[in-house]
Structure 1
Amino acid sequence: MAQPPAMPAFRYRAFISYSHRDASWADWLHKALETYRVPSRLVGTRTAAGIVPRRLVPIFRDRDELASATDLGRKVNEALAQSANLIVICSPRSATSRWVQEEVLAFKRLGRSERIFCLIVDGEPNASECQGREAEECFAPALRFRLDADGQLTAQQTEPIAADARADKDGRRNAKLKLIAGLLDISFDSLKQRELQRRNRRLTAITAAALVIMAVTTSLAIVALAARHAAEVARVDAERRQRQAENLVGFMLGDLNTKLQQVERLDIMEDVDTQAMNYFASMPTKDVTDQVLAERAKALEKIGSVRQEQGHLPEAIASYEAASTLAATLAKRAPTDTARQLQYARLLAFVGQAHWLQGQLDLAQSSFDEARNVLVQAEQHAGADLDLQFHLEMIDNDIGHVQEARGRLDEAQVSYRSALDLSTKLVAAKPDNAEWAVELGGAHNNLGKLALLHGDLATAIAEYGADDAIESALSSNHPEDNSQRESMLTVRAILGRTQALAGADDVGIHRLQESVDMASGLIKSNPHNSDFQEDFARYATQLARLKRLNGDLAPANDLTAQSLSMLTDLVHQSPTDSRLQRELAEAQTEQAAESLAAGQADAARTQAQAARSVLDPLLARQPHDRACVLATMAAQLVLADVSSDLDTAKQLRQGVVAAAKTQSSGQSDPRLLSLQVEAMLALGGKADAQRLIQQLWLSGYRDAQLLVVLHRDRIAYPANVAFQKRLLAENGTAHSSG
């Protein structure tokens, strides 16, 4: 039989091409390939790729010497030429990476297109061919199209060789084996079969150890039970054996789980947790000590937390509920034991939070209500126990969030008010407890949000101001804590933005500028922190809006450009994050408004349409999310202003009015009313708008955009002196009259 042709000698087994935003995947793949040992029965086999080696080394992934978009750097070019294969980590980030594009082109121009292998980690192949899904594309253009004789891309499509590492596709393990099979030019099934045989031999020891531990655990438990029933004199020994059994289970859930996680054996890890769950289910809850039950509850809670971290929420709920059943037994046995009541309530709260994460609001509220009842009952015996009061405050906060999400704002206000009262007492008792101070600030913030939704600007500003004072003090006491500094800049921006809604544009601009500057400083200290980048982009957009409305267009343009650049990168990193998508659309809407202010109608139209294309699907999924509703209404109004078709403009404005009227809660939100007024006036409904304008005036609302609209329509809107006096009295801050 003819031998396969000999492959030329290469210095590197493969070159890994990737976007720097997928560095964690590159790290994993580089390590996985270089540490992989080819099954011994395949080593020495001759294939079209050459003789199968024992190890896949070395793998090249050095990106440090990339010089420019057109110059990959001498070292990288040499590495490409000396690499037998090219592996491309494919995601929406790499699909738009100029480096990945140039590396693929360079490798293809070496005449080795057939030695390019793809690892899909995010996005969708060929999504760019589907209208509206272009941002999901994971293949760079150089991968999707062939080259002509001159080394230039053509329109002729090609199908890349790809392994899919996503959890619902091949998964990491199979994707790695597919890549290795391609590198060695052997069949995937053959490699997987050999790998399974080898892994089965290697895992025999650890599996046997787990089984032995379980067998010993069960045996010790049986012996313990038998001894306990045999004679009272053996009670101490039986309890000792029982503790040994529980300790072994603790090892399985602790050290063994940790080791399995380190070697990415989540399958065995899940089996261990399942076996432990079965073990606890088989154990009696009668005739055992309270200490044993408490230790079991702790172990079950740990299983629940592991499962929740893995994203297995139904399984996590099962573990938490099993733990809460044991905790309920302990709590019932000692109704005056505060620690036991707190543990039971805490586990019920964990159940509620897991339901909340799944969007199961009824089940979440049921668990939170039950937890609160436990704490209220315990309060009769514990009195003013501060730890109990803290748990009660957190439960009230959880209940308030559920009620708010269901549109029950009055009920949410009762819960938030209770949380405020409790946290106020806690901070008064222990002013140095930072955790309790944070809860107090959060309670003020929640009430400020509800006040704004109800059209009570003065109260909203007062509540946000209280939170700002708390966060500022905490940040001053802990200047090294970047997380606390981020909390401070967030509430500082919220406060400034709300003060601007009441006409204090100068104060709003100052506070927003402070937040942008703080976010910029945090980015310098940690350039890869996406939360800090999002903070900067969000508040830069809001600051740009205020500057534009106050005639400062050039700085507004600069801020919006920075925001758009940062948000575009963040959306590429997390294409399914609806919050980031909305914030990107808000920046696009602001850019459109700036273009309109500069007389660039065509640019404004394109930018507003881009915002609508992002917001429409978001609103379809979240029709009552207030931020999404307001962002969509604002984009529609800008698009209506630049529309050359009168019927289209009319439909857009009518859509704004309809959207405002169909909101199930927070209809007095002045931001909602203001956008509705703008649409009504443009539709010629001045008489209908007058009632809403009066409502806005009474609330003290003086947002700069509303003032521009009313001035254009020659509608008098003097400053509400009574409101300004109230604001000054309650907040101690002078506001401009606009």
Structure 2
Amino acid sequence: MAQGPVLPEFRYRAFISYSHQDKTWADWLHKALETYRVPRRLVGQATDVGPVPRRLAPVFRDREELASATDLGRKVNEALLVSANLIVICSPRSAASRWVNEEVLAFKRLGRGERIFCLIVDGEPNASTLAGREAEECFAPALRFELDADGALGTVPTEPIAADARPGKDGKANAKLKLIAGLLDLGYDSLKRRELQRRMRRLTAVAMLSLIVMAATSILAIAAVVARNAAVVATKTAERRQKQAENLINFMLGDLNDKLQEVSRLDIMESVDDQAMRYFRSLPVDDVNDEALAQRAKALERIGAVRLDQGHLPAALDAFQAASVIDAKLTARNPGNTAWQLAYARLLAYIGMTHWRQGDLDAAKTSFESARLVLTDAGQHAANDHTLQFELAMVDNNIGHVLEAQGHLDLAEDPYRNVLKLCEALVKVDPNHSEWGVQLGGAHNNLGKLALMRGDLATAITEYAADNAIETRLSEQNPRDNSQKENVVTSRAILGRTLALTGDVETGSRQLQEAIDLAVQLMKIDSQGADARADFALYSSQLARLRRLAGDSERATRLLDQSLEMFTALTRQDPDNSGWRREFAEAQTERAEQSRGKGQADLAQRQVREAEAMLAALLAQQPHDRATLLAEANAKRVLASVTEDRQDAQRIAEEALQRIQSVTSGREDPRLLALEVQALLALDRTDEAKPIIRKLWNTGYRDLALVEVLRHAHIDYPVNAAFTQELATRMN
């Protein structure tokens, strides 16, 4: 019998080569390959690279131990030698990476160039051959050309074997299967067909389980209703059967829902929840004990929370309201039961949050106020219940946010001050209770924000400093609490950028840099954590602006480069996140400012027009969002400054002024007033600008951008010594 080819023994199924900036993709791919189970019917099948294994593990991806700056390192070279395949994660970052290129060259020199597979995650293949698009190239040079006879990179082009995970191409799931098919030397269609068959079997099993549970629940429910109408001697049997039915319902809403979510069968999951809702509606609320009713309300609350997470707001509201009807009866019958009153207040707060997300601020405010009434009434029976007091603080916080969103800044101050009072009392009881401390810090932050919009910079900085001190103390007490570190990042950055508004640029820059450094630490702990990455991007762009205005253009450029790179990744990951898109546009506007400072007016104009288009799309969705209005007004201001045609520049400046003057709430906000001054001066309406300039001087506002504009306009703007003294006194 003829023997098959003698195949070398390899320790690793594959070696993953990637840029450290694509670590998120490397983490995903490594886990996807090592946890993949080959379809049973394919295991053992003979191929040119050997029999098909059950698993693909192990896969090598550790490139931490590099020996020096001049070689790949012994560990990596050894791993390449004993790896059957090389997978390259292809992006503009990896195309520019020396290490990725060296790893591809090393693998090709082993004579295994045909076992190199590419996963395209960003950029464009062979873009280096297209004029003006060279930066989009995703293939490293060693992937694009064959080796010559001496093992050096030649000039003969080659076409790498690639799976394309980009949106609109193969997508992640299909790209993964293409790679696996290549690694196993199997046909992609065959592997995909087997995978679909396996997935359908899994989904069918879960679907059958859900149908069986639903049928069993219905039978038990009917049995419970029939038994309830029977003689008194059958009452206990009926209650037992109803309890069994509701236990099954709880299973459906708990473990079964989790399993359905794992296999992405939201359609069956929603059917399960709908079936549960129908079951609960069929039950009376008067002939069962209170404990059973409380359990029923809790199950309905769980349905509502799932639907809220899914974004199914009307369905979530339906579930929350059904639960609130039950809890209303329970609290009416048991006015002294604090636990049930807290549960009822929490449901009313859920209803308020759902209305909030639907954009119905009036209904949200009504629900939050109803929750407050329940908690206040409960306080008459449990005046010293700390959980109740904290829930009251949370509800007041929500009421303040609604009033603020409605433009009632003066009215919002009362609930915010009540939050401060409640949390100060709680923290006196237990200074180490982190949740109470965080809410106390948030109260200071809210009051600081209101003070800033009133033009009271000294109070704003005092409140922000108090928040930062609280968040820092809590973080020092709980050094392993990463969520608390995120609170420190935010509080420190807000304090820093507000100090910079008073002209203290160096202290403000230092605080912002500390926030960025802490965000970097959090990113190292969790590379996929969106909050830390978003903080890193936002505060890098804000510090870039300060460094540009201070004359440090080189550092400003570096900071903005890292900000824009991160925002690009974030908005690609979640294109619907309006906050990230607005902040991305603001960073793009700052890029235009940098280009303008370098004399590149045409480039600046293109950059700011991109930012303006992004902001216009956001305003179409949220026409009254204050932050987006201000961002667009600033973008128009920059656009007017780089538009050569004077008539066009005047028109754009008029549009910016109209946008600024359309903002109705927080009219005394110095940031808003400063934009108005800059627009008026651009329109040569100096007399209208002067009273606003005087108002800004009185507040102590001294942002470097305004100071520079006034200097060019030959308008005197000295330091406000009285404000400086007041601020120093408060900070001390």
Q: Into which bin does the TM-score normalised by the smaller protein fall?
A: 0.7 to 0.9
Partner of 1:244: 244
Aligned-residue offset at 1:707: 3.2
Match of 2:42, SS state, is coil
What amino acid sits opposite 1:575 in the alignment?
A: T
- In 2: Cα distance, 1:154 partner to 1:310 partner: 53
Structure 1 residues 589-644: Cα deviation after superposition (integer angstroms, max 9, x where no partner): 66776788xxx733687578646644542354246555455555556656766777
Partner of 1:668: 668
Structure 1 residues 259-316: Cα deviation after superposition (integer angstroms, max 9, x where no partner): 677xx4343x873664254134224331333322221222333344455556666665
After superposition, the Cα gap between the structure-2 partners of 1:173 and 1:583, relative to the gap in structure 1 and judged at 3 Å, is closer
Partner of 1:710: 710
What amino acid sits opposite 1:345 in the alignment?
A: A
After superposition, the Cα gap between the structure-2 partners of 1:96 and 1:321, relative to the gap in structure 1 and judged at 3 Å, is farther
Q: Is 1:271 the equivalent of 2:268? A: yes
Partner of 1:285: 283
Q: Is 1:140 the equivalent of 2:141? A: no
Q: Is 1:560 the equivalent of 2:556? A: yes
Partner of 1:428: 425
Aligned-residue offset at 1:142: 4.5
Matches within 5 A, 1:110-509: 117=117, 119=119, 140-142=138-140, 147=145, 161-162=162-163, 164=165, 176-198=176-198, 213-255=213-255, 264-267=262-265, 271=268, 274-275=271-272, 277-283=274-280, 284-286=282-284, 287-306=287-306, 319-331=319-331, 334=334, 337-354=337-354, 356=356, 359-362=357-360, 365-376=362-373, 379-380=376-377, 382-383=379-380, 387-405=387-405, 408-410=406-408, 412-428=409-425, 431=428, 432=430, 434-468=434-468, 470-471=470-471, 474=474, 481=481, 483-488=483-488, 490-501=490-501, 503=502, 505-506=503-504, 509=506
Aligned-residue offset at 1:74: 6.1
Partner of 2:38: 38
Aligned-residue offset at 1:578: 5.8
- In 1: Cα distance, 2:135 partner to 2:387 partner: 48
Q: For the Cα contact (< 8 Å) 2:90–2:139, is it kept in 1?
A: no
After superposition, the Cα gap between the structure-2 partners of 1:591 and 1:218, relative to the gap in structure 1 and judged at 3 Å, is closer
After superposition, the Cα gap between the structure-2 partners of 1:404 and 1:605, relative to the gap in structure 1 and judged at 3 Å, is farther
Aligned-residue offset at 1:445: 2.2
- In 1: Cα distance, 2:709 partner to 2:334 partner: 66
Q: Is 1:574 the equivalent of 2:546? A: no
Aligned-residue offset at 1:570: 2.4
Partner of 1:680: 680
Aligned-residue offset at 1:426: 4.7
After superposition, the Cα gap between the structure-2 partners of 1:658 and 1:159, relative to the gap in structure 1 and judged at 3 Å, is farther
Q: Is 1:621 the equivalent of 2:618? A: yes
Match of 1:38, SS state, is coil
Match of 1:301, SS state, is helix
What amino acid sits opposite 1:162 in the alignment?
A: A
- In 2: Cα distance, 1:155 partner to 1:332 partner: 83
Match of 1:361, SS state, is coil
Structure 1 residues 51-105: Cα deviation after superposition (integer angstroms, max 9, x where no partner): 5444445544343355689855566567557655544446676576665566567
Instruction: Give the percent of matched residue pairs that are identical in Structure 1 and Structure 2.
Output: 49
Q: For the Cα contact (< 8 Å) 1:119–1:175, is it kept in 2?
A: yes
- In 1: Cα distance, 2:612 partner to 2:248 partner: 53
Q: For the Cα contact (< 8 Å) 2:516–2:540, is it kept in 1?
A: no
Structure 1 residues 478-529: Cα deviation after superposition (integer angstroms, max 9, x where no partner): 566554454345334434543443x4x34x6335524533653574576345
Partner of 1:527: 524
- In 1: Cα distance, 2:515 partner to 2:417 partner: 28
- In 2: Cα distance, 1:540 partner to 1:43 partner: 51
Match of 2:571, SS state, is coil
Q: For the Cα contact (< 8 Å) 2:677–2:689, is it kept in 1?
A: yes
Aligned-residue offset at 1:361: 1.0
After superposition, the Cα gap between the structure-2 partners of 1:545 and 1:426, relative to the gap in structure 1 and judged at 3 Å, is closer
Q: For the Cα contact (< 8 Å) 2:85–2:116, is it kept in 1?
A: yes
- In 2: Cα distance, 1:211 partner to 1:465 partner: 57
Match of 1:16, SS state, is strand
Aligned-residue offset at 1:177: 3.9
Q: Unaligned 5+ residue runs, structure 2?
A: none
Match of 1:715, SS state, is coil
Aligned-residue offset at 1:366: 1.9
What amino acid sits opposite 1:618 in the alignment?
A: L
Structure 1 residues 188-237: Cα deviation after superposition (integer angstroms, max 9, x where no partner): 45434444555666778776665555555444444433333323233334
After superposition, the Cα gap between the structure-2 partners of 1:514 and 1:33, relative to the gap in structure 1 and judged at 3 Å, is closer
After superposition, the Cα gap between the structure-2 partners of 1:426 and 1:75, relative to the gap in structure 1 and judged at 3 Å, is closer
What amino acid sits opposite 2:599 in the alignment?
A: D
Q: For the Cα contact (< 8 Å) 2:143–2:158, is it kept in 1?
A: yes
After superposition, the Cα gap between the structure-2 partners of 1:190 and 1:543, relative to the gap in structure 1 and judged at 3 Å, is closer
Instruction: Choose 284-293 or 306-315, whichever is displaced more.
Output: 306-315
After superposition, the Cα gap between the structure-2 partners of 1:621 and 1:430, relative to the gap in structure 1 and judged at 3 Å, is closer
Match of 1:673, SS state, is helix
- In 1: Cα distance, 2:67 partner to 2:516 partner: 30
Aligned-residue offset at 1:424: 0.7
Q: For the Cα contact (< 8 Å) 1:181–1:187, is it kept in 2?
A: yes
What amino acid sits opposite 1:560 in the alignment?
A: A
Match of 2:16, SS state, is strand
What amino acid sits opposite 2:416 in the alignment?
A: A
- In 2: Cα distance, 1:293 partner to 1:617 partner: 50
Matches within 5 A, 1:597-636: 601-602=598-599, 610=607, 613-614=610-611, 616-622=613-619, 625-630=625-630
Q: For the Cα contact (< 8 Å) 2:165–2:175, is it kept in 1?
A: yes
Match of 2:342, SS state, is helix
Q: For the Cα contact (< 8 Å) 1:417–1:447, is it kept in 2?
A: no
Instruction: Choose 627-636 or 613-622, whichever is displaced more.
Output: 627-636
- In 1: Cα distance, 2:21 partner to 2:135 partner: 15
- In 2: Cα distance, 1:707 partner to 1:394 partner: 41
Q: For the Cα contact (< 8 Å) 2:710–2:716, is it kept in 1?
A: yes
Match of 1:668, SS state, is coil
Q: Unaligned 5+ residue runs, structure 1?
A: none
Match of 2:41, SS state, is coil
Q: For the Cα contact (< 8 Å) 2:34–2:56, is it kept in 1?
A: yes
Match of 2:524, SS state, is coil
What amino acid sits opposite 1:444 in the alignment?
A: H
Match of 2:163, SS state, is strand
What amino acid sits opposite 1:278 in the alignment?
A: Q
After superposition, the Cα gap between the structure-2 partners of 1:333 and 1:25, relative to the gap in structure 1 and judged at 3 Å, is farther
After superposition, the Cα gap between the structure-2 partners of 1:199 and 1:653, relative to the gap in structure 1 and judged at 3 Å, is closer
What amino acid sits opposite 2:674 in the alignment?
A: S
Structure 1 residues 360-389: Cα deviation after superposition (integer angstroms, max 9, x where no partner): 211x65245224224325634643566445
Q: For the Cα contact (< 8 Å) 1:85–1:183, is it kept in 2?
A: yes
Q: For the Cα contact (< 8 Å) 1:486–1:532, is it kept in 2?
A: yes
Structure 1 residues 511-561: Cα deviation after superposition (integer angstroms, max 9, x where no partner): 552453365357457634565566566556656655665x6x4xx456535
